[in-house]
Structure 1
Amino acid sequence: MATNLDIDLRCPICQEVYQDPVLLRCGHSFCRGCLRRHMDSVEETATCPCCRDGFAEDSLYPNWQLSNVIAGLRDLGAGPSMEPGYPHCAKHKRELELFCQDDKQLICYICALAHNHRNHNCVPIDDAYMECKDMLKHSITMLQKDITDRMAMHKSQGEKISHLLDSVEQLREEIADQFEALRNFLNEKQCTIIQRIDDEESRVLKQLEENILQISRDCDAMEGVIHDIGEIIHSEDKYQLLREYSSLKLRSESIYDPVLNKPVFNMDELHGPLQYGAWKQMKDIIRLVPAALRFNPRTAHPKLCVSNLGRMLQYCEAQSQQVDTAERFTNHLSVFASTALSSGRHYWEVNVSEGADWILGVAAGSVNKKVCAVTSPDNGYWTIGHRSGGQYWANDSERVAIYPDINVEMIGVYLDYEKGQLSFYDAEDMSHIHTFNHHFTDKLYPYFSISPNAECVNPSLQLLHCGL
């Protein structure tokens, strides 16, 4: 019976289940679309494809009974069987002829009318196949672009490693040179510093290598997705492609941009005057002379007095009768040193009054001494400062709080002009306070500023000179 039902419910022309069946006067039924295509293919009077009985175009009658039978059988889950080998609906035992774009799954016509898919966008599998195939091809393109981007990241990380290794090697050589004259006394100190460098190197290398490993893992994952998508596309198996489309699409979109470590290899304090720092701990063994600087009285604000052969700077409430020249500060309680610095390495120390407000560093010779400006790099100043209450800060592009271990009374200032480094130290033990890095082009002058407060009404600065 099932075999006869299959035959009776199939159009003699397309051999598929009737779609909108029509009845001829001879008693044969056909799909309306199939019969119209048959009529369009003949130039003379159309005849029945089964019995050759002629008929006119206006003699086509809808076969409502046959339509109702087919609809009823579909509702019952019965009806014509499917061609062998074709995927079928597990619930309705019907051929999977549609693809639900909302749920991303193959369905039959009865599923499309059921509650789960009733208002969904369901399209023929051929249309869905081409659309999904194109989208997966686009996924391959995007993944290949991601691989290209990650390979560029991979190369960049490798270059950073090379630069890091070069910098570490150069620093090792500099340290070895500086400590050569002190090797008998400073072997333990040198080993300690080298260990710090090695630890920093290991830390940064580990983070960079983790970046490379993360990038490689991403690339492997993307290549796996590309391989799987490529295999299913090249197989031309539309059903398999549509079954696995959701999972492949999800895999292709679930690979996010890697979150890379951003290690900073910072050893500015070790680029400073290491021999001098060691001397501070070995004063009985070696003595090092800071730069012999003097305050320049021609640049001093009228309320600042220079004495002791240019080594002492003190705030005086009563203004001195000084000629107002272009080189004199009038809006800052400031002064330059007498020596301009345009090359080489230099180090000097300044003794500051306890509790005083002060600013120290360097300034370009071209700064405007008549305008009260923030002593920041944007205005030609590279400085740190102290305010009453124990506040220390550095004037970078923005003011940055700094935290020395204790209240500092002796400031060491180190300038490497060619390298573009200006570092500040607690001169008592040479502990690092802050470092500026900048490409210097102008002549620089050591810069000093003091001002009174409730804690220190007569502040002073003193340049330290050590005899040989």
Structure 2
Amino acid sequence: MADKLHQDLSCTICAQMFTQPVTLDCGHNFCKACIVGVWGELEAVVSCPQCGREFPRRELVTNQLLVTMVASLQHLNPGVETGGNGLRCPVHLEDPQLFCSKDLRLICSSCLALGEERSHRLITIEEAYEFCKGKLENSVLFLEKKLEEYRGAQSDQEFKISETLELVESLQENVEAEFAKLHQFLQRQEGALTEKLRRESENLVHSLEGSFKLISKKSSSIEKFIAEIRSLIDTEDRSRLLTDIKCVLQRSDLHNEPILQPPDLCVGEFNGPLQYAAWKQMLSIISPAPAPLTLDSETANPCLILSKDHTMVKRRTKFKQLPENPKRFTFCVAVLAAEGFASGRHYWEVEVETLAGWIVGMAKETVNRSDDLPLTPANGFWTVRLWNGKVHWTQGNSGASCCCADAKPERIGVYLDYEKGQLSFYNAGDMSHLHTFSDRFVEKLYPFVFPLPNLEMVEAEVLKLFHLYL
């Protein structure tokens, strides 16, 4: 059986076992060196030595299956001779002469005859040992460094997981505490209104019961008096009738007083817009409530116009010369709020519905107000902006932006927790979150607004600080 297999794995040209077997388009297999030798330098149409089929092109495809089968047979056949060190060429199964440092494989005399490694760097077998050991040492160093990086990352991830779980627990406590205040307020409001309804209903019922007793007493008295009058009418004693008539009529007139109508329960106080009334009163416990900010005219760029109450700003159509002031923005067409914050929690809203473009946020008190600088946290600005109908936030030191909302909001809400270093932006219409900056604040911060230019300069394009009136 081994002989039959040896025959099947032999080249029909050299009658030896395949070395570097290739397959022609007709399906027949030959040693690559054998078929190349048969075809020689012919440029004409070549053909298969076994079936005679002609081929317009010299296409040789390595038969990897035959390579594997030949190697397996050589391994199982004890008659196959190998070098003293057990090494052999993986392609031709011959004793290796050299080692290719590029392909990292052993090279035999057949390989050298084919000339495929002519341009590669070939080294001796002894040199190859040291060369490969060096390669493996470098690989170990690389993997050890990578392992150290992964272990560091693993430690960082473990810490991050622990930190995140602690943060989630803290945020959960904060959510529960904030809503507990609302629940307690609503429970107090409900209890007070319920107690008032109980008192008024008890007083009203008590009054109705007293009125009912009085009416019953009056009714009984009138019934007796009616019976007395009928008795007088039916008497045959005329002198008695004529004598008592005056007194009876006088007594009858005493019953002419109106019947008092009982008071009604004030339904409107207990069946009106109770939720709205409670919501209006809830403003007294909301913290932070929307702050009624105003704009600082001394910081306003000369291209801006402020309203008389300093709550609205829009761009001028013409530049106006104003007195020099170190507080004034001269390059950036912006303005700060009159009130700044160096501690605590604060919230305010800016109406931006009529503007096609705007920048809203906060700025440090010491920001550069005269040069053209990117509005980045590194330069003391934390902002979001509307550009091309989408809201973006500024990231990095270059001023690059990242989209955080595809819809154009009508009003922007800004929340500052100074001690925690949190500055968050919201779509104030539905209080959906837009973006949060986390930083370490060390100086006073001022609300910052910047109405972007519009080529049409529509008069209605006004940026306004929102004031809540209830």
| TM-score normalised by L of structure 2 | 0.49
The structure having more radius of gyration, on CA atoms, is 2
Between the two structures, name the one with larger relative contact order (CA 8 Å, sep ≥ 6).
Answer: 1
| TM-score normalised by L of structure 1 | 0.49
